[in-house]
Amino acid sequence: MAVLARAETSLPGWVVDRIEEAARRESNPLAESQLEAILENVAIAAQDQIPICQDTGFPVFHLVLGRDASLPFDLREAVADGVRRATDEVPLRPNAVDPLTRINTDDNTGPGMPDLILDLVDGDALRITAFPKGAGSENMSLLAMLNPADDPLEFVLETIVERGGMACPPLFVGVGIGGTFDLAPRLARRALLEMSGSSEAKLERDLLARINDLGIGPMGLGGDTTALGVKILTACCHTASLPVAVNLQCWANRSASATVGDNGWNID
Amino acid sequence: MEHRLKTPLTVDDVRNLCAGDLVWISGTIYTARDKVHALLRTEGRLPVDLNGAVLYHCGPLIRDDLVISAGPTTSSRMARYTKEVVDKGVKAIIGKGGISEASEHLRSQAVYLAYPGGCGALASRHLKVIDVHLAVLGMAEALWVFEAEEFGPLVVAMDSLGRDLYQEARLSAEANLRSRRS
């Protein structure tokens, strides 16, 4: 609950740093006005302890569990309970609907929601990261089963030209290349989760520069700043395949983490 | 150029706005997203008068009739209903991402204003709840009546003369992609 509340109301420091840096560099006055509004918005959300964006997102959690930890309770139900409490207390907008009837569950939980991504590691601690994902950027994300002769990075650029302006840029771009029909999007999601303030690899830096060269700009209105970060994860694929997934994330790259161990809860 | 406008808007208000101008709006604005638009299509009417109205593509977060967070939603989902809302008298549509596929329906009649996406907390300081209609549709989908005070900065992204900043950015990006390929 606390970790989701933190993610909804304040951005990681490195994300704010990148927006501030972009605002300083931006040469298009209209684009600069959008970045300044974003920075004012982030400051108000932190000050008033209210959600940064009214789309408080689809609750995604990354759980890194020590193999020696003992969990005498249902982990999925515990996380769902935290989501229900956060929905009531932060508050969050009730976003979960049945895909066919479109009836809202009113508490942001239901089949498949929250989504848990689980990793097992050495040790006995549990690390939990809340990663609420807004629909605006999620709807613009895309998967393609390319011909192995195609250039996967070209597909990333085309996706951003056609769809990036509607995903609330400046964007964070998670790219998954290889694997299968379902593994490529999981890699792209993980790329967003793993993105941090540390510097990118050369391939990622070059792709970021190419994306910003497109001039889509903040909110798709034109400008120098289209993306603030790129991460690419790859996996082997079948010799006849080339799956590529682009998971777009809006400027509000919300996440917060906590570690649960012998000393109780520790929010980063 | 900067404009401060009060609702309801007139055709003259709208024709004075050029792509790239900044606008701050005060007065009544109505939220409407997927379900309200679908209802307008099937019923032919809404419970509010849209003549001179400002429509906001927004699914707000509200608690005890207070606006907690109320940024724009992606307008392209509602683009298919643009002719209907403009025919009902809507003079300005606020949203994010634009409605390029429907720009012909704005021509000489209405403008599209971009509010910075994701800036729900900033919006909460300039919007008050006056009323709600169609609450049965749920918090995000209901038709909220807001009193706006200096709500902005709104960018005139698509003006009544047919200029469309999204289309311009997209075309220039496509040209950039092609030139790198050849």
pLDDT digits (tens, 9 = 90+) for B2-36: 999 999 999 999 999 999 999 999 999 999 999 99
Tell me, yes or no, if A213 comes closer than 8 A to chain B by beta carbon.
yes
Helices (H), A127-170: 135-138, 152-163
Say what the pLDDT of residue B125 is: 97
Say what the pLDDT of residue A267 is: 85
Q: What is the mean pLDDT of chain A?
A: 96
Check pLDDT > 70 for residue A190.
Answer: yes
Comparing CB atoms, the residue among B114, B120, B180 nearest residue A52 is B120
Q: Which helix (H) or strand (E) holds B24?
A: strand B22-31
A142: left (phi over 0), alpha (psi -120 to 50) or beta: beta
Tell me, yes or no, if A44 comes closer than 8 A to chain B by beta carbon.
yes
- A residues 101-160 closer than 8 Å to B (CB): 104, 134-136, 139, 154, 157-158, 160
Q: Contact A250/B118, CB-based, under 8 Å? A: yes
Contact list in A for residue B121 (CB cut-off 8 A) is 41-42, 44-45, 48, 50-53
Check pLDDT > 80 for residue A263.
Answer: no
Rg of chain A in Å (alpha carbons):
19
pLDDT digits (tens, 9 = 90+) for A67-108: 999 888 899 999 999 999 999 999 999 999 999 999 999 999
Check pLDDT > 70 for residue B182.
Answer: no
CA nearest to B31, candidates B107, B99, B127: B127
Higher-confidence residue: A36 or A73? Answer: A36
Higher-confidence residue: A123 or A265? Answer: A123
Tell me, yes or no, if B162 comes closer than 8 A to chain A by beta carbon.
no
Averaged pLDDT, B144-155: 97
pTM (2 decimals)?
0.95
CA nearest to A154, candidates A249, A246, A251: A246
Say what the pLDDT of residue A203 is: 97
pLDDT digits (tens, 9 = 90+) for B47-83: 999 999 999 999 999 999 999 999 999 999 999 999 9
Question: By percentage, how much of chain B surpasses pLDDT 90?
Answer: 98
Is there a catalytic annotation at residue B37?
yes
Question: By percentage, how much of chain A surpasses pLDDT 70?
Answer: 100
Say what the pLDDT of residue A198 is: 84
Nearest residue of A to residue B152 by CA position? Answer: A37
Contact list in B for residue A219 (CB cut-off 8 A) is 96-97, 114, 116-117, 155
Q: Which of B69, B127, B134 to mutate to test the interface with A (most CBs of A within 10 A)?
A: B69
Rounded to 10 deg, the angle between the B165-181 and A152-163 helix axes is 160
Cα–Cα dist A205/A202, whole Å: 5
Averaged pLDDT, A45-62: 97
Comparing CB atoms, the residue among A37, A134, A251 nearest residue B153 is A37
Averaged pLDDT, A240-257: 98
CB-based burial, B4-42: b 16+ in 10 Å, e otherwise: ebebbbeeebbebbebbbbbbbbbbbbbbbbbbbebbee
Check pLDDT > 80 for residue A262.
Answer: no
pLDDT band per the 50, 70, 90 thresholds, residue A268:
confident
Say what the pLDDT of residue A166 is: 97
Tell me, yes or no, if B87 comes closer than 8 A to chain A by beta carbon.
no
Q: Contact A161/B20, CB-based, under 8 Å? A: no
Averaged pLDDT, B144-154: 97
Comparing CB atoms, the residue among A166, A168, A222 nearest residue B76 is A166
Averaged pLDDT, A165-178: 98
> How is residue B164 annotated by DSSP?
B
Tell me, yes or no, if B145 comes closer than 8 A to chain A by beta carbon.
no
CA nearest to B146, candidates A102, A54, A46: A54
Question: By percentage, how much of chain A surpasses pLDDT 90?
Answer: 92
Check pLDDT > 80 for residue B84.
Answer: yes
Cα–Cα dist B58/B100, whole Å: 18
CA distance A23 to chain B (A): 14
